[in-house]
Amino acid sequence: MRTKSEAEAGACVGTEVGAGTGAGDKDMPVRFGTKIAVLLRDDLEPWQRLNVTAFLVSGLGTASPEVIGEPYTDADDTAYLPMFRQPVLVFEGTKETLTAAHRRALSRSLPRAVFTSDLFGTGNDRDNRAAVRAVGKDRLDLVGVAVYGPRNAVDKVLKGARMHP
């Protein structure tokens, strides 16, 4: 069970509880006041799910750099790129669930990324952006949405979605 101070600290955007540098902190569980979530349409092929997820999360680190952790190194001091500082939760839902989640993410002004069915037919960023630009927000044929923000706001955006199996 979380203490009152952990709950209060975890309610802040970008706050991690238990990730400090104090001697006893390494044994404390890390809890985040924010959530990174990907919502995929439930009729996608397995390769499409992976592709859409990879593309969607690539945008979050550029728009919200606080989601990126420190670079990694192994025991031989080989350097590796930094990754997200917190888990990415993947959900699935119907086309209607994605449309509603997109609308809620917009109304809450949360950082978000979209992937439409048209992007499966393009092969580069320029054509991807043109495909999204050609369609109004209410008519996008969404197959995936990524969202980042306070845990409770992201939970509300994802209402009706279920965890990806």
- Summarize pLDDT for 57-86 with one digit per residue, the tens: 998 888 888 999 999 999 999 999 999 999
Own/partner contacts of 42-47, CB < 8 Å, gap of 24 or more, are 42/92, 42/93, 42/94, 43/95, 44/143, 44/144
At residue 82, what is the residue type? Answer: P
- pLDDT category, 8, cuts 50, 70, 90? very low
CB neighbours of residue 49 within 10 Å: 19
pTM for this entry: 0.82
- The overall average pLDDT reported for the chain is 87
User: For 58-62, 66-70, 114-118, 129-133, which range has the lowest pLDDT when averaged over its residues?
Assistant: 58-62
Confidence of residue 28 (pLDDT cuts 50, 70, 90): confident
Distances (CA, A) of 72 to 64, 87, 140: 20, 16, 38
| CA pair distance 142, 36, nearest whole angstrom | 18
Give yes or no for residue 2 having a pLDDT over 50.
Answer: no
Element (H, E) at 143: strand 142-150
Domain boundaries, the chain: 1-32, 34-163
For the domain made up of 34-163, give the CATH fold. Answer: Bit1 (3.40.1490)
CB-count exposure of residue 101 (10 Å: 0-12, 13-18, 19+): buried
The residue-averaged pLDDT of 107-136 equals 96
Q: How confident is the model at residue 7 (pLDDT cuts 50, 70, 90)?
A: very low
> What's the pLDDT score for residue 31?
85
